[in-house]
Amino acid sequence: MDLERILSKLDHLVEKKDFEEAKSLLAYWLNDAKENKNLRGELSLYNESMGLFRKIGDQENAIKCAQNALRLVEVLGMGGSITEATTCINSGTVYKAFGESEKGLPLFEKAKDIYERELKSGDSRLGGLYNNMGLALLDLKRYEEAMESYKKALDAMDYVKDGNLEKAITYLNIADVLDKMRNDENVKDRHSEEEWETYIENCLEKAKNCLDDETLPRNGYYAFVAEKCAPSFDYYGHFMYKAELDKRIAGIEKTL
């Protein structure tokens, strides 16, 4: 199995939003891995399938893939490895995406223990972990811990090529924490409404600056990040900037 070639083709299909063909590709090679008892290949394909099913909103299959991937980590004796940590993050993200952050958070915590022990401080995977962990913490109204996780994400992306894309996501995540706090009766009185608004707007401006970085390649990944960010600008009333991101996304998609 040429996994690198398979994943390259998968990335191309997802960029084109040809999700049916992407599902067929993964299903074909997953069946091949099972028939040939290629457990490592099977694990890799389950990890990729989680992301695809999460993206298209297929909760049942996404969770099945998460459960199978975590099982295979144990079968392969990969506990404590980078592979286990990555599988935990993918699985935790599935649970968070479908409203089960209480199941996802322990998986993020396990991944955090491994990543912080095994990875160098400038590794981009740390930024992804901290961002996803922050989302789960926010769902559980653990605001201070979510903010701390996002601050770690920003620090991690300082040393990563094109890290401003992930930083843009992080600044918008911080804005969401502030928005939740200003609407939570238990903590809203920490600041005036004007102060909350100022803090949120500051995050939005920082996110814009990151996305407007002219050194960033305007490629499929830029479009993916912009698509994730656009609804936040719409939510906070930055309609013109949301329209600008939509224009950039459309321009990139024409070239794919």
pLDDT score at 183: 94
- Which residues, 6 or more positions from 39, have their beta carbon under 8 angstroms from its beta carbon? 33, 72, 75, 76
pLDDT score at 253: 87
Q: What is the CATH number of domain 19-118?
A: 1.25.40.10
Alpha carbons 177 and 188: distance in angstroms, whole number: 12
pLDDT in tens, the chain (256 residues): 788 899 999 988 988 889 999 999 999 999 999 999 999 999 999 999 999 999 999 999 999 999 999 999 999 999 999 999 999 999 999 999 999 999 999 999 999 999 999 998 778 899 999 999 999 999 999 999 999 999 999 999 988 888 999 999 999 999 999 999 999 999 999 999 999 999 999 999 999 999 999 999 999 899 999 999 999 999 999 999 999 999 999 999 888 7
For residue 170, give both structure tokens: 């992080």
- Distance, first Cα to last Cα, the chain: 26
In 3-state terms, what secondary structure has residue 201? helix
Domain limits, the chain: 19-118
Q: Answer yes or no: are the C-beta atoms of 163 and 127 closer than 8 Å.
A: yes
* DSSP, residue by residue, 115-128: HHHHS-TT-HHHHH
Alpha carbons 153 and 140: distance in angstroms, whole number: 19
pTM, whole model, 2 decimals?
Answer: 0.86
* DSSP, residue by residue, 12-52: HHHHTT-HHHHHHHHHHHHHHHHHTT-HHHHHHHHHHHHHH
